[in-house]
Amino acid sequence: MPLPPFLEPVRKNDPDFGKAIEDVYSLAMGEGALDQKTKLLIALAVDAAHGATQGVANIARQLRSMGVTDEEIREAIRIAYFAFGNSILASYSAAFHEEMF
């Protein structure tokens, strides 16, 4: 899987660091226990949780080109919202209880 385009300036301006990033990227996104679709759905959810709008758009486009449905994309983003938003709900609860756990 080729590196995302936003990493090209790193490879160009700092080849040693670019190579290290490429190695980590290949380890994370290359062949492994998870299939490519699952890996990209996870990456989509993480980008969504961090507000990386362009990353979400790029990964969604890539997923659609693999035949992933909009429903699958929606579900991944819902999971990100649920997982990321839970810390806010836990903080809300802390406002009303001295000790939760």
In the chain, domain spans = 1-30, 36-101
Distances (CA, A) of 45 to 14, 58, 84: 29, 12, 10
Q: How far apart are CA 34 and CA 59, in angstroms?
A: 17
Q: Is the pLDDT of residue 100 over 70?
A: no
67: left (phi over 0), alpha (psi -120 to 50) or beta: left
pLDDT per residue over 24-58, tens digit each?
A: 999 999 999 999 999 999 999 999 999 999 999 99
Average pLDDT, the chain: 91
Q: Which helix or strand (DSSP H or E) is residue 22 part of?
A: helix 15-29
pLDDT of residue 54: 95
Question: Counting Cβ atoms within 10 Å, is residue 11 exposed (0-12), middle (13-18) or buried (19+)?
Answer: middle
Query: Among candidates 1, 3, 6, 2, which has minimal Cα distance to 54?
Result: 6
pLDDT of residue 53: 96
Q: Is the pLDDT of residue 92 over 90?
A: no
Question: CATH second-level architecture of 36-101?
Answer: Up-down Bundle (1.20)
